[in-house]
């Protein structure tokens, strides 16, 4: 990695060196933030293998765009926005019905908060209905409703206003309700 | 859709897809893969910058010629 010289630098110096093209500083940032970036992407795509690939893709984009980085706005919000767009690109490239595999990320999810009244069949239908949503609506709904991330954080990550996020969540829920009702599931 | 219906669909969503735990992390070291990626495709994607500019100019031109397209563009943003 390095001889330890980076370790004694403060965060702003690491960011400055990263902007200047230092691979050591980039690795420092990668080691510091990869877990958070991976977790954010996993929350969106809910597929561990894809999340790993997209984490690499995100840091690759970060490296390419380092000249446009504004240290005043912080590294993680910037990285989260790039990660969100990488995840959106991935979701757009997927066909509906093959997304959001419930079994894949199941080991990483918290135990269901609800009772067992919701059958496995209904869970599967809800997951499929979510997978049929347009990606930009799905991302907003997953982050806001399931992951309960703050609207401001979601808005920053998507590069839209908080109001736009609320509208997307509302539209996603409305589409989901209609979709599920058409399949005989009344929420 | 009223707030009760919203709450019910939110509950259903949370039960179908529980949140990812905070402890989730990659199963392998991703740094070597990133290095391979950087070696394979050196940075400085100046072509993208031109593409971005061309796209922006095209969008502005379309809005200038067809102002009615603004709501459609906003819808898809």
**ipTM over the 0.85 cut-off:** no
Residue from B24, B35, B62 nearest A63 by CA: B35
Name the residue ranges covered by the structural domains of chain A.
7-103, 110-187
Q: Distance (Å) from the C-alpha of residue B67 to the closest C-alpha of chain A?
A: 22
pLDDT of B25 higher than 60: yes
pLDDT band at A119 (very low <50, low <70, confident <90, very high): confident
Measured from the Cβ of residue A108, the count of other Cβ atoms closer than 10 Å reads 20
Strand partners for A109: B20
Instruction: Domain A7-103: give its CATH code.
Output: 1.10.1740.10
Do A37 and A58 form a contact (C-beta atoms < 8 A)?
Answer: yes
Question: What pLDDT score was predicted for residue A24?
Answer: 92
Which residues in chain B are contacts of A187 at CB distance < 8 A?
5, 8-9, 11-12
For A104, which DSSP code?
T
The CATH-assigned architecture of domain A110-187 is Orthogonal Bundle (1.10)
pLDDT of A116 higher than 80: no
pTM for the whole thing?
0.76
Name the residue ranges covered by the structural domains of chain B.
46-77
User: What's the mean pLDDT when you consider all of chain A?
Assistant: 85
pLDDT digits (tens, 9 = 90+) for A75-112: 999 999 999 999 999 999 986 655 455 545 555 555 55
| Rounded Cα–Cα distance for residues A18 and A31 (Å) | 13
Which residues in chain A are contacts of B12 at CB distance < 8 A?
118, 122, 126, 180, 187
Do A62 and A79 form a contact (C-beta atoms < 8 A)?
Answer: yes
pLDDT of B64 higher than 50: yes
């Amino acid at each position: 990695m390095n001889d330890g010289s980076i370790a004694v630098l403060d965060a702003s110096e690491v960011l400055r060196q990263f902007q200047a093209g230092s691979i050591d500083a980039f690795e420092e940032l990668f080691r510091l933030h990869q877990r958070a970036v991976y977790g954010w992407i996993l929350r969106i795509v809910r597929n561990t293998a894809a999340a790993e690939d997209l984490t690499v893709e995100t840091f690759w984009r970060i490296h390419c765009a380092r000249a446009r980085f504004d240290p005043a706005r912080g590294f993680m919000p910037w990285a989260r926005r790039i990660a969100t767009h990488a995840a959106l690109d991935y979701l757009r490239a997927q066909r509906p019905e093959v997304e959001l595999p419930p079994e894949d990320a199941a080991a990483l999810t918290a135990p269901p908060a609800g009772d067992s009244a919701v059958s496995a069949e209904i869970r599967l239908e809800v997951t499929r209905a979510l997978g049929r949503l347009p990606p930009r609506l799905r991302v907003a709904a997953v982050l806001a409703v399931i992951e309960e991330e703050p609207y401001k954080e979601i808005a920053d990550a998507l590069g839209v206003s908080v109001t736009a996020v609320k509208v997307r969540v509302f539209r996603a829920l409305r589409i989901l309700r209609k979709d599920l009702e058409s399949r005989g599931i009344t929420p | 859709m009223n707030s009760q219906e919203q709450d019910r669909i939110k509950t259903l969503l949370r039960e179908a897809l529980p949140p990812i735990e905070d402890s989730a992390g990659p199963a392998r070291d991703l740094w070597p893969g990133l290095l391979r990626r950087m070696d394979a495709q050196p940075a400085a994607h100046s072509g993208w910058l031109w593409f971005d500019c061309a796209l922006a100019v095209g969008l502005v031109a379309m809005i200038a010629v067809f102002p009615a397209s603004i709501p459609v563009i906003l819808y898809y943003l």
